Structure 1
Amino acid sequence: MPRQIFQLRISLTGVRPSIWRRVLVPGGYTLDRVHRVVQHAVGWRDCHLHSFEVDGIQYGEPDPDGDLAVHDELDVRLDAVVGKGSRFHYTYDFGDWWEHDLLVEDVCAADPRERYPACLDGERAGPPEDVGGPDGYRVLLAAWGDPGHPEHRDMRAWVGDRFDPAAFDPGPVSTLLRRLC
């Protein structure tokens, strides 16, 4: 049986204009590898805790103290918990609370000429780490686009000149995914 590839649409919730990615991921990936795909696709740096929620069940890195009841993401394959049309959730950074909606748009056979994972498409740059969640990102965008905003210079200095909230190119993301996932 040929390897199955899941086409996922990853959408960051609570953010306008929308930030989303369309990625191809092998169905045999465990959720910890899906975590890495989301991290690189959105532009996160994996500096904070995360979890998945699939059908009301939490998956992530087990808490050594046992305070968080999560199933070990290393033990669960993507194709064992979702299928075409499934929706599940990924939360990153429990302080900033970035929620991602993941939709399995399609499941198909792997193309032997292609390398996976891959990023096909998307819109807008991912928010910078530690910006303060969706509310902090709204402040950043307001300050970014308004030279008269009291935080304009500070935000530009903090984020850097290379940040363009409207820009996204799937090519470099695919290269990074193939190298690191």
Structure 2
Amino acid sequence: MKIEPIEIRDKLGRTIVLRNAIPDDANDLIRYLEVISAETPYLIREPDEITITHEQEVSFINNCLASNKSLMLIATLNGKYIGNCSLSPIGNYKRYSHRCEVAIALYQEFCGYGIGKSMLENVLEVAKGLGFEQAELEVISDNRNAIALYEKLGFKKYGSFPDNMKYANGEYASADWMMKKL
């Protein structure tokens, strides 16, 4: 889906532009996945598993733009890509039509400045406007900063997935399932 760009101010007073991802952003999105998967243990892929092609990313972006229920929102600072927040239906079945999934990630250097909170607030507002009744997400159980943000926005934990991920070093991480009524 397409939305009008939104300007916000972060905690440092910087102007952040939230806008749709467009095909020209494909390389930035791929590079972002490569960098952030190495920066944090909280994403589902190891850095060497980022194998998406430019064409695949362009196709994904175009599908989001053409959809009436999916959104890929990116954040930029002075035109530089710094993170994204997505919204997508849980499934295409009527019985799931009230549910959507949200996901967010920023380059680590931009975390803690209110950017993620603003992105999520805007995406949740869009979700509600589309008729979704609940937003869901999955978060690694020891990602305390993310969980604190989600709770601040009204998400509640409803379950856990023990040993949800197994890292390359053999360690496991559990995940929490969180949901917010819209």
Greater RCO between the two (CA within 8 Å, min separation 6)? Answer: 1
Query: Which of the five TM-score ranges fits, normalised by the shorter chain?
Result: under 0.3
TM-score, scaled relative to structure 1 = 0.24
Greater fraction helix: 2
Higher strand share: 2
Bigger Cα Rg: 1
